[in-house]
Amino acid sequence: MAGANGAAEAAADRESGAARGRLIGVGLGPGDPSLMTVRAVEAIAEADVVAYHSARHGRSIARSIAARHLRPEHIEEALVYPVTTETTDHPGGYRGALEEFYAEASARLATHLDAGRTVAVLAEGDPLFYGSYMHMHKRLAHRYPTEVVPGVTSVSAAAARLGTPLAEAEEVLTILPGTLPEEELTARLAATDAAVVMKLGRTFPKVRRAFERAGRLDEAHYVERATMEGERTGELAAADAGSVPYFSVAVLPSRVAPLTAPRPGPGSGRQPESERQPEPGQQGQGQGQGQGPQPEPGQHEPDAHAAAHGTDGTHGGRGRHGAECSGGTGATSGARGEVAVVGTGPAGPLWLTPETRGVLAAADDLVGYTTYLDRVPGRPGQRRHGSDNRVESERAEFALELARRGRRVAVVSGGDPGVFAMATAVLEAACAEEFTDVPVRVLPGVTAANAAAARAGAPLGHDYATISLSDRLKPWEVIADRLRAAASADLVLALYNPGSRSRTWQVGKARELLLEHRAPDTPVVLARDVGGTGESVRTIRLAELDPDEVDMRTLLIVGSSRTRAVRRGTGGETVWTPRRYPDEPEARPGQDAATGPDASAGPEPARKA
């Protein structure tokens, strides 16, 4: 509606042939008048009218910044907000009160513009960055010649006052308003490299909680009134919530910058990296004291050598079972490390959860199967310890040993770490006496079954079973019994690890077992490399399942007797499993079709006709 009104007003202006003035949005910078740009000063000098916003008390920060450049002949327009908090008795509520104010304020400025005057609207910081000027711009810029003069933002000012880089190289900088819901703030703070949270004041308590929940509070800084009188800086955790003003920001600075800074030269009092002593209890190359016996001559040593070397080629003393530990750089005496077991999803960064993204960025060390580590963007100073997929126990112990030395370690799995992945191995190792005090947490990821099901439709819409066909850790007889049990129960089956170069017969045998219970035309989803460059998802029938088309990157979903594969107009088949069986009564409106009446209450009493 506003757009239509604006177009009509613009047409009326053209028809009247009235001389129109110019609108200038003037960015004044963060508060110090000396940080105004040359063009900002020129724009004020050119203006006939100078407008600025203020609260109801009438004092305008924007006017105070530009005061030395105002002339007696300037016409001043004070645009006084009717409300500054969300408390109002306006019939349209807070939003309605503001919309009415913006309409009235823009009409006042339009009167000057229609008279041919140049109107400069002053804005703290930058006019188009969370500024009040934007609301005038949206209503007037399409009707009058308009210029926007950029200004130094409070974000830049805060970083300058802290004396620390905000973002370097490939780091992602996120700007957040403190008015966001706490859950949203937490997720975004966990996922980003660097951040600035604006609009504090009364939002500060929840912003602080969000930093703490995201595990970033120790990194965060606080800047109040940057470049203004009364400026304060410090650690966010130490800020007094009762005294935080609106004109303050929370800053998560670059993680990379401190790691890429030149090392102090001679005489700095700091030991060069190569000359630092090992942490207490850490030995140099070779067996460390109290870390278990070395293998006897000729005894097989687990293949953890690859897991012990970071991409920078560094390595340190050996931990239990021969796993080498890089415990030097970054681990401080008495520091409390942790192990976070994370899942990267089935493919690249689009599948990462915000929580996992944040943990990966914050980790000192990444430990995992090389293929999965390659999915994680690197950052300077972070060590990677890649290995093959046959040394899970050694990899877990290695990660725990690093954490025991004070390192923040992320153990990287594909998919979900709790589904046929590293979470079990880490937790099993963590229950050993020497690791019981090491904090371990598991972060969920998108598992292959859910990713494949989403691509195909909704084949897991009812009860289903997840079974691995790999007989590396359990005998085939156990797998066969579970296949028969799940098939006889008419469960949809998600089959992981169906085959590899060394295992080619299990798929054929599984097909034979399933055909004892399922019809030959049962839909089967073959999903390979979901989310990757070689993604292939297609639907066949159980009798057509060919073992030669299956490898370790393939996941199979075998439908139940109720699963449907329907060809729609969009091409291809959509696979879905109904949420009810045919002998189940139709769900009444408002009743959950998955559960029906509360099962704990027993059968629903008969209703009278």
Q: What is the pLDDT of residues 165-214, one digit of tens each?
A: 999 888 899 999 999 999 999 989 988 989 999 999 999 999 999 999 98
pLDDT in tens, 240-293: 999 999 999 999 999 887 766 665 554 444 333 322 222 323 333 332 333 332
pLDDT category at 10 given cuts 50, 70, 90 is very low
**Same domain as 173, residue 138:** no
471 and 498 in contact (C-beta within 8 Å)? no
pLDDT category at 87 given cuts 50, 70, 90 is low
pLDDT in tens, 461-500: 999 999 999 998 899 999 999 999 999 999 999 999 998 8
**Same domain as 168, residue 122:** no
Residues in CB range of 212: below 8 A, 6 or more apart: none
Would you say residue 8 lies in a domain? yes
- Of 30-39, 146-155, 548-557, give the lowest mean pLDDT range: 548-557
Would you say residue 604 lies in a domain? no
Would you say residue 95 lies in a domain? yes
Would you say residue 130 lies in a domain? yes
Alpha-carbon gap, residue 383 to 326, rounded angstroms: 9
**Same domain as 236, residue 125:** no
Residue carrying the six token digits 């066909």: 469
Whether pLDDT at 3 is above 50: no
pLDDT category at 63 given cuts 50, 70, 90 is very high
Out of 134, 151, 168, a domain closes at 151
The predicted pLDDT at position 207 comes to 97
The predicted pLDDT at position 403 comes to 97
Alpha-carbon gap, residue 5 to 308, rounded angstroms: 68
Alpha-carbon gap, residue 515 to 539, rounded angstroms: 17
Whether pLDDT at 326 is above 60: no
Pairing outcome for strands 75-80 and 49-54 = parallel
Q: Which domain holds residue 530?
A: 448-576
The predicted pLDDT at position 264 comes to 52
Instruction: Give the pLDDT mean for 148-177.
Output: 95
Percent of the chain with pLDDT over 70: 79
The predicted pLDDT at position 379 comes to 78
14 and 34 in contact (C-beta within 8 Å)? no
**Same domain as 509, residue 413:** no
Residues in CB range of 326: below 8 A, 6 or more apart: 308, 310, 314, 315, 316, 365, 383, 385, 402
The predicted pLDDT at position 55 comes to 87
Instruction: Give the pLDDT mean for 307-322.
Output: 36
Whether pLDDT at 323 is above 50: no
Residues in CB range of 356: below 8 A, 6 or more apart: 342, 343, 344, 443, 445
CATH code for the domain in which residue 412 is found: 3.40.1010.10
The predicted pLDDT at position 335 comes to 57
Pairing outcome for strands 523-528 and 536-541 = antiparallel
Alpha-carbon gap, residue 577 to 572, rounded angstroms: 17
CATH code for the domain in which residue 182 is found: 3.30.950.10
Whether pLDDT at 308 is above 50: no
pLDDT category at 345 given cuts 50, 70, 90 is very high
Pairing outcome for strands 75-80 and 119-123 = unpaired
The predicted pLDDT at position 215 comes to 87
Percent of the chain with pLDDT over 90: 63
| Length, in residues, of the chain | 609
DSSP 13-78: HHHHT-----EEEEE-BSS-GGGS-HHHHHHHHH-SEEEEEE-TT---HHHHHHGGG--TTPEEEE
The predicted pLDDT at position 86 comes to 57
Out of 256, 285, 302, a domain closes at 256
Whether pLDDT at 531 is above 50: yes
**Same domain as 390, residue 370:** yes
Instruction: Give the pLDDT mean for 592-603.
Output: 43
pLDDT category at 84 given cuts 50, 70, 90 is low
Please report, in angstroms and rounded to a whole number, the separation of the first and last CA atoms in the chain. Answer: 53
Strand partners, 118: none
Out of 410, 442, 474, a domain closes at 442
The more confidently predicted of residues 291 and 602 is 602
**Torsion sign, CA atoms 115, 117, 118, 123:** negative
Residues in CB range of 184: below 8 A, 6 or more apart: none
The more confidently predicted of residues 266 and 435 is 435
Residue carrying the six token digits 């191995």: 425
344 closest CA partner among 447, 496, 495: 447
**Torsion angles phi and psi, residue 318, rounded to 5:** -90, 145
291 and 434 in contact (C-beta within 8 Å)? no
Would you say residue 294 lies in a domain? no
Would you say residue 26 lies in a domain? yes
The more confidently predicted of residues 432 and 596 is 432
Would you say residue 306 lies in a domain? no
| Average pLDDT over all residues of the chain | 82
* Distances in whole angstroms, Cα of residue 51 to Cα of each of 62, 127, 297, 509: 9, 13, 85, 80
Would you say residue 192 lies in a domain? yes
The predicted pLDDT at position 262 comes to 65
383 closest CA partner among 410, 355, 358, 349: 410
**Same domain as 390, residue 468:** no
**Same domain as 145, residue 7:** yes
Alpha-carbon gap, residue 160 to 145, rounded angstroms: 35
Between vectors from CA 127 to CA 140 and to CA 200, what angle results, nearest 5°? 125
Q: Alpha helix locations (H) across 457-561?
A: 476-488, 506-515
Alpha-carbon gap, residue 179 to 290, rounded angstroms: 52
Alpha-carbon gap, residue 232 to 248, rounded angstroms: 9
**Same domain as 136, residue 211:** no
The predicted pLDDT at position 261 comes to 62
**Same domain as 432, residue 316:** yes
Write out the H or E segment, with its range, that includes residue 379. Answer: none
**Same domain as 417, residue 524:** no
**Same domain as 127, residue 173:** no
Alpha-carbon gap, residue 581 to 128, rounded angstroms: 57
Total domains in the chain come to 4
The predicted pLDDT at position 584 comes to 57
**Same domain as 142, residue 80:** yes
Alpha-carbon gap, residue 45 to 42, rounded angstroms: 5
* Distances in whole angstroms, Cα of residue 583 to Cα of each of 257, 489, 502, 598: 65, 16, 45, 18
Residues in CB range of 518: below 8 A, 6 or more apart: 487, 542, 558, 559, 560, 561
